[in-house]
Amino acid sequence: MHRLLVKSATHSYPVYIGTHIRLHINRFLPKHYSSIMVITDDHVAPLYLEDIKKALRHYRVNEVVVPAGERSKNIHTFYNLHTQALDYGLDRESLIIALGGGVIGDLAGFMAATYMRGIDYIQMPTTILAHDSGIGGKTAINHERGKNLIGSFYPPVAVIYDTYVLHSLDDREKRSGYAELIKEALLRDEDFFNALLNTNVHDLTDKQLVNDLYKGMQIKSAIVAKDERDNNVRQFLNLGHTFAHALEAEVGYGEMTHGEAVALGLLFALHVSTAEFSQPLPYSSLLDWMQRNSYPLDLSMIQAQCMLERMRFDKKASREHIRMVLLANIADPVMFDLEIQKMKRYLVSFLNELSNRT
């Protein structure tokens, strides 16, 4: 089993990575709780909910199962979780367990952050993608005008990552998760990035998966420790996300996985970076890897102007500029403000180039 310690301004918390550790979750609780509520979705619940309840049989455990997918990250589901917690009698000494992927982690984390002004919660990721969202304490729900526009910074008391559960993921979820690993490698580790470009995400060994996740989480935790509140270097973790969030909203939440959108966002970031810095960057290598691993690349239905309007709602956009993370080189990220009309030109050229290459 691997163990990381993530440093937070409010408290530091451990990340446990190992096989079958969900069966012993009681060993990793930081203290005794008056009650526990497990929040999960209807895909994960049939697979792993009973394991968690059995491991916590000495506690009073309640459960809430929501529909799987990005559409559950809304104000109505959020409000209903509070109602369920009140019905179950949760108090300030209760614990929330987020058992699922990034959607459940964001949703349950924000619910924990706001219930009775904040109670403890634990992240139990069940996807590769959630290795990224499970660390750092960002919690949020979506607004109809944009992704993650309603939320707070609220770190968990622990992250318990049982890699055994990743065997139940389909190829689409594996692709989705590896996009965030590519992002982390681009930010900090060129050797890791080059190794990932030789990875077939549909044929992963247990050892390779654990090692890749551990490297990615090390990169993420090191950045979070320097800037928990997203005021400085943590913003680099948004590499690819300005485009990705706009794309998810444009096609409709749930139509494309977050990681699939991020992969396209990374391509767009490399496209813009190459133009802005006149520096050769691995655009073609990344595109080739995405093609080999069956990422969706058809954006023929997407209009540049529609994407531009979506990107203007990004949390870091201003009236005249859109801010995004670019790469002066691999492992050399920079924040960059692009004028609206220049951004539109880049969107048009990227969509045309992608259409010609795929």
Among 141, 140, 102, smallest CA distance to 123 is for 102
Among 114, 107, 137, smallest CA distance to 39 is for 107
Check residue 227 and report its DSSP letter. Answer: -
Cβ(203)–Cβ(291) below 8 Å: no
pLDDT in tens, 35-52: 999 999 999 999 999 999
Lowest mean pLDDT among 100-104, 134-138, 326-330: 134-138
Check residue 320 and report its DSSP letter. Answer: S
Residues ≥6 apart with Cβ < 8 Å to 13? 5, 6, 155, 156, 157, 158, 159
pLDDT in tens, 276-321: 998 889 999 999 999 999 999 999 999 999 999 999 877 566 668 8
Please spell the DSSP secondary structure of 261-307, one letter per residue.
HHHHHHHHHHHHHHHHH----SHHHHHHHHHHTT-----TT--HHHH
Cα separation, 211 vs 204, whole angstroms: 11
- Computed over every residue of the chain, the mean pLDDT equals 93
Residue 173 clears pLDDT 70, i.e. is over it: yes
Angle at which helix 206-226 crosses helix 171-188, to 10 degrees, equals: 50
Residue 267 clears pLDDT 90, i.e. is over it: yes
Check residue 197 and report its DSSP letter. Answer: T
Of the chain, the end-to-end C-alpha distance in Å amounts to 41
pTM (two decimals):
0.84
Over residues 197-218, mean pLDDT: 90
> 211: number of CA atoms within 13 Å, CB side?
9
Lowest mean pLDDT among 53-62, 144-153, 296-305: 144-153
For residue 9, the surrounding DSSP H or E stretch is none
Cα separation, 238 vs 269, whole angstroms: 10
Residue 21 clears pLDDT 70, i.e. is over it: yes
pLDDT in tens, 68-123: 988 999 999 999 999 999 999 999 999 999 999 999 999 999 999 999 999 999 99
Cβ(275)–Cβ(193) below 8 Å: no
